[in-house]
């Protein structure tokens, strides 16, 4: 699947933002969602997901977008300034079956998003300091 950020803001330039979005997606694993590779190209996210049969594609899309947006707004309050109405994702989405292309090509495509779009991700996560005695 591919989701674009609303207004195509470059929201995935920091590793902490990418991690928060992935955490939001992974909140759906207890409901039967299975995730493969994730790839972030600055203004959009590509990811492999196996949607359980009990959910329609539309319901799954709503769940994925709402959980990830909720996590982004909780962990990064500054996003409320960019999105005062609370809509993090645009209405555009793309979903294709891996049956049309093989899994290896899909995985490679997800992994190559930063290089493909020339995005440099800043690792802004807090680092552990070594224990000093």
pLDDT in tens, 76-93: 999 999 999 989 999 887
Residue-wise pLDDT for 101-121, tens only, equals 788 888 888 888 888 898 999
* 105 secondary structure, DSSP code: H
Q: Half-sphere exposure of 109 toward its Cβ, with a 13 Å CA cutoff?
A: 14
Please check whether the domain covering 2-117 is classified as CATH 2.40.30.10: no
The token duo for 7 is: 């207004």
Tell whether the model's pLDDT for residue 98 goes beyond 60: no
Q: In what order do the strands lie in the sheet with 44-50?
A: 34-40, 44-50, 2-5, 89-94
Beta bridge partners of 94: 2
pTM for this one?
Answer: 0.85
**3-class secondary structure, 10:** coil
């Amino acid at each position: 699947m591919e989701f674009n950020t609303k207004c195509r803001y470059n929201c995935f330039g920091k590793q902490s933002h990418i991690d928060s979005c992935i955490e939001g997606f992974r909140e759906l694993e207890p409901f039967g969602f299975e995730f493969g590779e994730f790839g972030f190209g600055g203004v959009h996210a590509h990811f492999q997901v196996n949607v359980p049969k009990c959910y329609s594609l539309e319901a799954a899309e709503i769940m994925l977008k709402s959980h990830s947006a909720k996590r982004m707004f909780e962990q990064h309050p500054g996003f409320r300034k960019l999105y005062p109405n609370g809509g993090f994702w645009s209405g555009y989405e793309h979903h294709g079956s891996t049956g049309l292309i093989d899994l290896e090509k899909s995985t490679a495509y997800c992994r190559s998003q930063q290089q493909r779009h020339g995005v440099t991700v800043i690792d802004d996560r807090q680092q552990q300091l070594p224990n000093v005695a």
